[in-house]
Structure 1
């Protein structure tokens, strides 16, 4: 019975998140209220607050799940890549794909000013914390590559993870800022830059 309840809770949570994203796309993130999300999801506002503390948290939870999914999917295939550049480019591709899956480019464009600002009511602090968690996961991927002899033994894994995550984040913002996002051009640029960075990561 508890399993059924958990399933129902997860379905309700997903319905609220889906309703929120649909409204964010239709009328904008700033113009959407919790009350509107609740009505669209067919629940009460207090029910929404049982699952999410704010509409900002809805966005961040979905992005966090997308990041975790990307890292898990990479780990399933990690042994298939002999070249660490292929590994890192594949991870970046997964991160972008899942980020755009949960938040389409037009919605990203609206959120960019909030992400880049220091407004208390926006996303910055929570977004930075989420990004720090992703950076830690990238560092673990690099440690695995290092342990397999694919990266220099003396590589500063934490700094490299920061650089890769920061660059990937910047490229995502550039991608979604374009009127017509070009994924192929984006992937080419990411590969060229990753290859350049990797020249200093090769093992002796």
Structure 2
């Protein structure tokens, strides 16, 4: 019986997240309501509230599910043996931007950042940041591969470097979603400049 209840809960979560994604994209975050999500999911508003608390909570749940798919995509799309650290980070950042915009527009991504930075610590924000760490370690593993192939010094701490580069591209991602004028190509060029400057310092 407990297995059935678990499947029912998972089904409700999936229906809520799917309904929210459709409504957020069709009518935007502000015009979407908990009641509207509940109706589209075939559930009560109380049920949606019990699972996610607020509309921002539903949005974070949607992003968490999206990030899980992103990690799988990155593991497949990033070369196991990158040509260079710059190429690795640029492809990583490009894949992140492509995936993000394919799922939600920039306006809604701004709501995601607001929810993460102002919503306090919840199991959803913890889940969001945990997936950020997993994303960073996609870079870490590729950096370790570069070291094994002799393309990067073995003396470099791969974990620290991977996390630092993840945070750099994440800052550029936030800049990307914060402006309707900035394109993917604009951000890629800025990130390329960042990396060139940092790596030049490292060899000075």
TM-score, with normalisation over the residues of structure 2? 0.73
Return the alpha-carbon distance in structure 2 between the equivalents of residues 148 and 71 of structure 1.
Answer: 24
Q: How big is the shift at 1:64?
A: 3.6
Q: How big is the shift at 1:11?
A: 8.0
Closer, same or farther: CA 74–114 of 1 in aligned 2, 3 Å: closer
Counterpart secondary structure, 1:181: coil
Q: Deviations over 1:78-97 (max 9, x none)?
A: 04742232122111111121
Q: Contact (CA 8 Å) 1:115, 1:122: kept in 2 or not?
A: no
Q: Work out whether 1:87 is the aligned partner of 2:88.
A: yes
Closer, same or farther: CA 141–123 of 1 in aligned 2, 3 Å: same
Q: How big is the shift at 1:106?
A: 0.8
Return the alpha-carbon distance in structure 2 between the equivalents of residues 65 and 149 of structure 1.
Answer: 36
Unaligned runs of 5+ in 2: 1-7
Return the alpha-carbon distance in structure 1 between the equivalents of residues 152 and 58 of structure 2.
Answer: 37
In structure 2, the partner of 1:154 is 155
In structure 2, the partner of 1:73 is 73
Closer, same or farther: CA 57–151 of 1 in aligned 2, 3 Å: farther
Return the alpha-carbon distance in structure 2 between the equivalents of residues 33 and 46 of structure 1.
Answer: 12
Counterparts of residues 114-193 of structure 1 (less than 5 Å): 114-117=115-118, 119=120, 124-193=125-194
Q: Contact (CA 8 Å) 1:62, 1:102: kept in 2 or not?
A: no
Unaligned runs of 5+ in 1: 1-7
Q: Contact (CA 8 Å) 1:23, 1:37: kept in 2 or not?
A: yes
Higher normalized helix content (fraction of residues): 2
Q: Contact (CA 8 Å) 2:60, 2:125: kept in 1 or not?
A: no
Q: How big is the shift at 1:12?
A: 6.9
Return the alpha-carbon distance in structure 2 between the equivalents of residues 101 and 137 of structure 1.
Answer: 21
Counterpart secondary structure, 2:128: helix
In structure 2, the partner of 1:37 is 37
Q: Contact (CA 8 Å) 1:67, 1:95: kept in 2 or not?
A: no
Q: Contact (CA 8 Å) 2:60, 2:115: kept in 1 or not?
A: no
Larger mean Cα displacement after TM superposition, 136-145 or 57-66? 57-66
